[in-house]
Structure 1
């Protein structure tokens, strides 16, 4: 199992330093998800993260930053449902049901089950999974 963390949608003080420390402590992958941010703010965050860890970053927006900062991959979502032409790297997406996991997992390096618990970053976004489904 891999330890994957998704950033807060808002920027937090010392975020780049915290992320670097998390990587040093064993974090496998970081998903940079800042849906209301502009490209310059996301770039500032990426520039502050130690370069040796950038290949372990997956970005949700501004896919052009993947090559510019040598990031590991991209995450497809409703805003960006398709990978760029000739894309190479980690490719992930969120699934909202077990059926969706079963039908899409083969096209991605991994899928995230979204949300397993009620979301703390998306107001009103509730878990769609029962305890029995999660045990399965």
Structure 2
């Protein structure tokens, strides 16, 4: 199970991240689109060296080596601008890559360099108002032909719909709003985690 950071700084964030890791969080995406390189460096340093191999950097990728990070995420826009030579370079350096997509067709066309991809929004977003897909992504993934890349559901994921999501064919789920848009982030994480572990 994956958790994505709140896009903006919030109170008690680092303590919450530590608590999530202590409860078995596997991967944490550092997505702070408005953060400067220096702010990203400070944020990652605050999370601590202990968890560095579980962090995925969404922006300021040039910081990864200095920070000792070997996981990078590419937005759809960034992915379209990256060339094969760069992807091969990351592959040779054993950098784990993930990306974001919004259609099954785009997922099926992904190159083998990406370990997993977020397909979103599967359900109406919790963190973004009026953000939902025009198509039923649970049905659309019946047309999946790419099985080299893990398919991760994002958007509106919460305890009540995780089983339905995995039943539809997703390999994993990513949490954002159900963690950060609530006053019970740890409880919500544990509820979701129990369902995934029992699946």
TM range, smaller chain: 0.7 to 0.9
Secondary structure of the structure 1 residue equivalent to 2:35? coil
Aligned to 1:103: 109
Aligned to 1:42: 40
> How many Å separate the matches in 2 of 1:79 and 1:132?
25
> How many Å separate the matches in 2 of 1:79 and 1:62?
15
Cα separation, partners in 2 of 1:128 and 1:113, compared to 1, 3 Å: farther
Secondary structure of the structure 1 residue equivalent to 2:10? coil
* Shift in Å, 1:73: 0.8
Gaps of 5+ in 2: 142-167, 170-199
Secondary structure of the structure 2 residue equivalent to 1:47? helix
How many residues are treated as equivalent by the alignment? 134
Aligned to 2:8: 10
Residues 1-136 of structure 1: pairs in structure 2 closer than 5 A:
3-78=1-76, 80-81=78-79, 82=82, 85=86, 86-87=89-90, 88=93, 89-104=95-110, 106-122=112-128, 124-130=130-136, 131-133=138-140, 135=168
Gaps of 5+ in 1: none
Q: Which has the higher contact order (CA 8 A, sep 6+)?
A: 2
Per-residue CA deviation, residues 7-46 of structure 1 (Å, 9 max, x unaligned), is 1111111222221221121111111111111112211111
> How many Å separate the matches in 1 of 2:7 and 2:129?
11
Measured on the aligned residues, the alpha-carbon RMSD in Å equals 2.3
* Shift in Å, 1:78: 4.3
Q: What TM-score does the superposition give when structure 1 sets the normalisation length?
A: 0.84
Per-residue CA deviation, residues 35-68 of structure 1 (Å, 9 max, x unaligned), is 1111122111111112111111111100022111
Q: Normalized per residue, which structure has more helix?
A: 2
